Amino acid sequence: MIHAFLLATAAVVLAEMGDKTQLLAMAFATRFRWHTVLWAVCAATLVNHLLAVAVGNVVTQFLPLAWIKLAAAASFILFALWTIRGDSLGEDTHKGGRGPFWTVAIAFFIAEMGDKTQLMTIALAAEEAVRIGGVGWVAKVRQIVPVWMGTTCGMLIADAFGIVVGIGLHRHIPETAIKWIAALCFAGFGLLGLHEALDLLLPHDVTLHHAALAAGGLVVPASMWFIARRTAERRSGSSSADPADAPDRSIE
């Protein structure tokens, strides 16, 4: 249980670096008290990730271990590419008519729906259910609670970091470097997971996939570099086309 808790915590801390929910924490920290933001993040994450671990637990009843490992490994590689692509806050995060706590909690709950940290929670819960096994309430608690608590703690740690950044350290932290470190860690976990899954799926005398995985160690970082470059070009073009940059043609 401790292993599952620590793995879930570390995975979500990495996933949240540069994620839109961390950007939300930064934005809200400039408007509301930091402890209000953190409590709201905790409440929203507890509900959202409970749904995720329940879904992940149910999935194990229909898929064998090798396929679950394969899906989890592939998802880690997708998380690496997703992290490099980055997120942005496309709209004003302040919603009028609600108190600060509910404003932040509702925004975080909606932002987490379908986000990579929620999908990762589903994958981790599925893998833990297969690893522990068993039936009955005691087994389900052992399968669900460590992942649920671990992903929630990971979210709080990452978003607490985001809150600190939002309060005053944003200009002194290289966000690009943080994203690359997190993304490379995800890619490494994904490739190792693919190796384990393919070893289970393929006959023992088949080793051709080892060379393919080694090639993947070059292809995945290259793909990350390409995505980072295209994302930077797109954002640069979007900034240059901002109407606010157009000359003022008003009649004086």
How do residues 68-90 score in pLDDT, each as one tens digit? 677 777 877 887 887 787 655 54
**pLDDT tens digits for range 121-177:** 888 888 777 777 666 777 778 778 888 899 899 999 988 888 887 676 555 656 677
pLDDT per residue as tens digits for the range 174-226: 667 767 877 887 788 788 878 877 877 777 777 777 787 888 888 888 988 99
Tens digit of pLDDT for each residue in 106-130? 888 877 776 778 778 888 888 777 7
d(CA 179, CA 82): 10
Query: Does the pLDDT of residue 55 top 70, yes or no?
Result: yes
Q: Give, in order, the Cα–Cα distances in Å from 52 to each of 119, 150, 155, 188, 243.
A: 7, 13, 14, 24, 41
Residue 252 to residues 129, 243, 249, Cα–Cα distance (Å): 70, 20, 9
pLDDT value of residue 234:
83
- Taking the C-alpha atoms of residue 93 and residue 146, their distance in angstroms, rounded to an integer, is 31
Distance CA 208, CA 210 (A): 5
Give the pLDDT confidence score for residue 172 in this predicted structure: 62
Q: Which residue has the tokens 């390409």?
A: 226
pLDDT of res. 86: 67
Q: What pLDDT is recorded for position 92?
A: 43
- DSSP conformation class of 248: P
- Residue with the bigger pLDDT between 102 and 241: it is 102
pLDDT at residue 22, rounded to an integer: 79
- pLDDT value at position 240? 64
The first and second tokens of residue 12, run together, are 């979500």
In this predicted structure, the answer to whether residue 251 has a pLDDT above a threshold of 50 is no
Kindly state the tokens that stand for 132. 């522990």
